[in-house]
Chain A
Amino acid sequence: MTDTPSLADEVRALEEIVRRLEQEDVDLDAALKLFEEGIARLRRARETLAGAEQTVQSVLADASGTLRSTRVDL
């Protein structure tokens, strides 16, 4: 799996962190830890967002059932 599926996880976790910071009565240490975690997740989410354009692959299962993929040029 590529890195991008974790984008959904990153964003979900970020939303939870922000919710806790905004609503819960967390102590300062915990708040700082949450903040640091949030920053790390933000960075990864932004890296994923900046990912390069991917090629299109054509996938074929041959007679033996082996998958082969070839690049599709458009």
Chain B
Amino acid sequence: MSDQAHRSTRDEHGKEFDRARNQAQRMPIHSESGVLFEQAMAQTRMAICLADPNLPDQPLVFVNRAFRDLTGYEEEEIIGRNCRFLQGPGTDPEQVRKLRQAIANEDVVVVELLNYRKDGSAFWNALHLGPIYNEDGSVRYLFGSQWDVTDVHAARADEKHARMMEREISHRMKNMFAVISSVVTMTGKLDDAEELAEKINARIRSLGRAHEAMLEVSFTEGPTDPHPLFRDLLLPYAPSGEAGLTLEGGAVPLDSNIVSVLALTLHELAINAVKHGAYSVPEGHVRLAWARETDAEGEERLRLDWRESGGPVPEGPPKRRGVGTTIIRRMLAMGDGEISHDWRPEGLRVEISFPTSL
């Protein structure tokens, strides 16, 4: 709605009523409904017009104030003209055709047209058009109401653009991870360290999968459901697929830092389960539960509970800490996180917690 409508003084409103009354009187409308019509037309913020289909070229015979505000034209520039004067170079002929068809068929139609104001500026017009009948069933008027939906169109365009950017970023990221992977593999081969290169690549792939899974939510604020992320990270290692993995927990804040930490941590736990734990046998199972909690200093933490079952009885703590364990221990320590292992007869249990403000 324009500012003008707010600024109008009582005088202008008086004139408005007079004008509406004059027009209503020119129309053969029953007097009481005529008064209601004139008041409603003057007050509504919806731009409204009536066209006469019985006159040559179906001219507009009535428009309200909102219509004049929307289009920027004065009444005398509007009345008597066919409403196509609002169209311009950007108006879609297909929509205009739809409109004409509806008029011919006496249908009610809603179209979105790019229309032009008197000053040449364009706006998206959601036009609703339908027939008003005489008592004998013939069409007396064409009733049109229009709403400026330019903002809606802009929002739709923004959304489309954002989706396009997401796809582009996703594509580039996949490429980047692939290139990094190739460089690592090639270097490993040439430097006679293929095994080491494969270990590095497995971690890079986990990071890639995790960030890929988070792309769709990375543009949104606030906590996110991590189920898809955890599934992408862990399912490749579960020998029996879905049956070997249970995930339990609600939404958590997933900034890229947290995604990286989760990816590397869960990768190491899964690799370890494949080598020594539950995922070394087909019937092995992992249950991963998580929750947010607030610590003594009022900082929010994410707590993860990893429980293996169905595998061989754990041998207890390894004599030498592996590279993977060392990496996640140091990484968590940097971020004020904690990790504890418990080698129970039924399977390894690992508890991890770190601040969500990581």
Whether chains A and B associate is no
